Chains A and B, each alone.
Chain A
Amino acid sequence: MHPKNSSHAYSIEDLQAGDRDAFAALVEEYSPKLHRLALRMMNDILEAEDVLQETFLKAYKNIDRFEGRSAIGTWLYRIATNEALMRLRKTHPDTVAIDEPIEAPDGHLITREIKDWCCLPEAEFMTSEAQSKLDRAVAELSPALRSTFVLRDLQGLSTRESAEILGVSEPAIKTRLLRARLQLRDSLSSYFEDRVLEMTDE
């Protein structure tokens, strides 16, 4: 490998010149992140692997078209997210498009008695049942909300980066993130509130 700048073991020039070592370094850095993203988006191991492979195949093929206006990571995230969304649209054509208008929450969110489940013992959150409840709740988000939640909260990208990747405005990202978080909280609450009841019954 030929480190040409401080943070990466590759440079854009090397990548665009077809340097295989540079491309290998890029794959090494981004494959774990993009695989996690694909798993969350697809909720299917095989589909996620396809998204991962297709992302790097497309990146390699189109690296000439990378103009450096965004970071290379942002560019890869965009390819991966588009690939996942395209596949979701094919397999679930009834689900809404990524550019669906999403209204801000109207504030009337507390519609039933609200119970605190933060106090549950840590072990309750780690059971395989609880963990698969977490997975299911993400899978139930619309593709627009899911992609926003995955980029912002799970990949730790900024509002600006997420907006660039999804091709929507920053306020739209904020609205979607809030909606996604609230929906996830609701889904988890229905499960964990029952755990609280079980514990108090014992």
Chain B
Amino acid sequence: MSKCPDLIHELSDYIDGDAAPEICAEIERHLDDCPDCKVMVDTLEKTITLYREQETQVVLPDDVRERLHIVLNLNDQT
């Protein structure tokens, strides 16, 4: 796991698909050899996916929207 520390700094860019191609290749080579880092990356990606999915469930409640319009005096507009 000697390369793990180097890998960590590039991890966000790698996950977002923003890392340079040679960095990606290096990370992927390392992941093939290092099961711990592989699990680390997989669970990190899963974490982000879970939050993004959760976020899509949130809608602005009607009562919150209504009170916002009252506070802003926008009742005539809707």
Residues of A within 8 A of B (CB): 20-21, 23-24, 27, 31-32, 35-36, 39, 49, 52-53, 56-57, 60, 104-110, 114-118, 125, 131, 134, 138, 153-154, 174, 177-178, 181-182, 184-185, 188-189
Main secondary structure of the interface of B (DSSP, over half): helix
* Tally of contacts, chain A with chain B, CB under 8 A: 107
- Indicate whether A24 sits within 8 Å of B77 (C-beta atoms), given known contacts A31-B68, A49-B67, A56-B68: yes
Q: Once the chains are docked, how many angstroms separate the CA of A9 from the CA of B71?
A: 22
User: Is B43 in contact with A20, judged by CB distance below 8 angstroms?
Assistant: no
Q: Once the chains are docked, how many angstroms separate the CA of A104 from the CA of B7?
A: 12
Q: In angstroms, how far is the closest chain A Cβ from the Cβ of B13?
A: 8
> Quick one: CB contact mask for B45-78 with A, threshold 8 Å, 1 for yes?
0111011101100111000110111011010111
User: Is A107 in contact with B6, judged by CB distance below 8 angstroms?
Assistant: yes
- Indicate whether A174 sits within 8 Å of B36 (C-beta atoms), given known contacts A35-B64, A36-B55: no
- Indicate whether A185 sits within 8 Å of B72 (C-beta atoms), given known contacts A24-B78, A31-B65, A36-B55: no
Q: Once the chains are docked, how many angstroms separate the CA of A134 from the CA of B51?
A: 7
CB within 8 A of A27: which of B47, B51, B58, B68?
B68
Q: In angstroms, how far is the closest chain B Cβ from the Cβ of A123?
A: 13
Q: Once the chains are docked, how many angstroms separate the CA of A182 from the CA of B4?
A: 14
Q: Name the residue on A nearest B44 (C-beta).
A: A185
Q: Which residues of B contact A181 (CB under 8 A)?
A: 12, 15, 44, 47-48
